[in-house]
């Protein structure tokens, strides 16, 4: 049984580090012309170094895990990264909205494919009849037609990205369950070791796309640097490792439905915060209705949990 306090702690860590990363990613892109493949590579690389540090300090036990179990989750993450680079190229601000309006497909993938990939976690709360309206409402939160920017190719790849996110989560959970069943180590220590293997192998898989992306980047000679840019750059490794580790902990400790609920909660807060940051410059009735419905769905889930 997962401790509720631990879930709350890692969720808040994930949200807070994600908030700081949104600013750090802007610095990496606008100042250093760093794109999605490199950013994803850095996330896994810094988290891998963090896990190696924990193990070298004796904070986590050394457990040998079967490398065969990591083939599917690493391949799924590789596909997710490539699709993410296509859908959210960072050239268009509105492509972020394009990603989010297909979040319902992420939820539906968990509900449908979870029965086959992770049958031991496909039951329980929240119930599917609560998750379906939550997934649809959370997508409506970001349906701001005036803000959408996309190419034909990115529009076609956007639903595939949402499905890839769901498959990536489910294959990761399946690999973790299989490694847990075949190991005598405790679940917590095993989780840390699993993260070490997963982040290391994913770092290796993303190295070539990141290298190609970085080789094609172009840094302006006259790029201006502010003091806040230096601060975000110097601390980005901490934000990246904290964000990814907290996300992995939530992914491996919770079932897919609970994880999706927390994911929708996070992006609901992001959509509301986006309105406040923009001083309500682009509100519309559909997005407002989506926010209200999402809050109602979350309240209903909380009441029945």
Does residue 224 form part of some domain?
A: no
User: Is 222 domain-assigned?
Assistant: no
pLDDT of 259-303, one tens digit each? 999 999 999 999 998 888 776 666 788 889 999 999 999 999 999
Residue 91 has pLDDT above 70, yes or no: no
Please state, as a whole number, how many other Cβ atoms lie within 10 Å of the Cβ of residue 213. Answer: 20
Q: What is the mean pLDDT of the chain?
A: 89
Phi-psi region of 273 (alpha: psi -120 to 50; beta: other; left: phi over 0): alpha
Which tokens in the block code for residue 227? Answer: 């003091």
pLDDT of residue 23: 86
Residues recorded for the chain = 305
Q: What's the pLDDT score for residue 160? A: 96
Query: CA 210, CA 214: separation in Å to the nearest integer?
Result: 6
Host domain of residue 202? 4-217+229-304
Residue 122 has pLDDT above 90, yes or no: no
CB 171 within 8 A of CB 117: yes
Q: Which residue has the tokens 């997508």?
A: 139
Name the region of 223 (left: φ>0; alpha: ψ -120 to 50; beta: rest): beta
Whether residue 244 is contained in a domain is answered as yes
* Average pLDDT score over residue span 130-158: 90
Helix axes 128-140, 103-117, angle to 10 degrees: 150
Whether the per-residue pLDDT at 250 is higher than 80: the answer is yes
298 assigned to some structural domain: yes
Token reading at 15 = 């949200």
Q: Tell me if 154 sits within 8 A of 119, measured CB to CB.
A: no
Q: Which of 68-77, 83-92, 160-169 has the lowest mean pLDDT?
A: 83-92
Which two tokens mark 203? 């770092």
**CA angle, 257 then 260 then 261, to 5°:** 85
Is 150 within a domain?
Answer: yes
For the CA atoms of 184, 189, 194, 195, the dihedral, rounded to the nearest 10 degrees, stands at 180
pLDDT digits (tens, 9 = 90+) for 205-222: 999 999 999 998 887 766
Q: What is the pTM of this model?
A: 0.92
235, part of any domain: yes
Domain count, the chain: 1
In a domain? residue 223: no
């Amino acid at each position: 049984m997962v401790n509720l306090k631990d879930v709350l702690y890692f969720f808040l860590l994930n949200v807070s580090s994600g908030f700081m990363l949104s600013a750090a990613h802007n610095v990496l892109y606008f100042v250093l012309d760093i794109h999605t493949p490199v950013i994803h590579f850095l996330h896994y690389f810094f988290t891998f170094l963090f896990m190696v540090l924990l193990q070298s300090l004796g904070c986590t036990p050394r457990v040998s895990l079967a490398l065969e179990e990591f083939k599917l989750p690493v391949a799924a993450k590789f596909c997710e990264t490539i699709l993410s680079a296509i859908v959210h190229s960072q050239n268009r601000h509105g492509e972020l909205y394009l990603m989010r309006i297909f979040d319902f497909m992420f939820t539906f993938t968990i509900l449908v494919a979870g029965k086959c990939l992770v049958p031991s976690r496909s039951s329980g709360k929240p119930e599917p009849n609560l998750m379906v309206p939550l997934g649809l409402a959370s997508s409506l939160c970001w349906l701001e037609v005036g803000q959408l920017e996309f190419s034909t190719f990115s529009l076609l790849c956007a639903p595939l990205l949402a499905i890839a996110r769901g498959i990536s989560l489910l294959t990761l959970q399946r690999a973790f369950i299989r490694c847990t069943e075949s190991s005598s180590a405790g679940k917590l220590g095993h989780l840390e070791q699993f993260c070490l293997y997963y982040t290391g192998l994913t770092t290796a898989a993303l190295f070539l796309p990141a290298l190609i992306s970085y080789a094609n980047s172009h840094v302006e000679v006259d790029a201006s640097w502010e003091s806040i840019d230096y601060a975000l750059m110097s601390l980005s490794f901490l934000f990246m490792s904290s964000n990814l580790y907290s996300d992995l902990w939530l992914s491996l400790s919770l079932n897919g439905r609970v994880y999706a609920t927390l994911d929708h909660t996070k992006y609901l807060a992001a959509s509301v915060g986006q309105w406040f940051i923009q001083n309500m410059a682009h509100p519309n009735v559909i997005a407002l209705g989506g926010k209200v419905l999402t809050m109602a769905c979350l309240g209903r889930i909380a009441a029945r949990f």
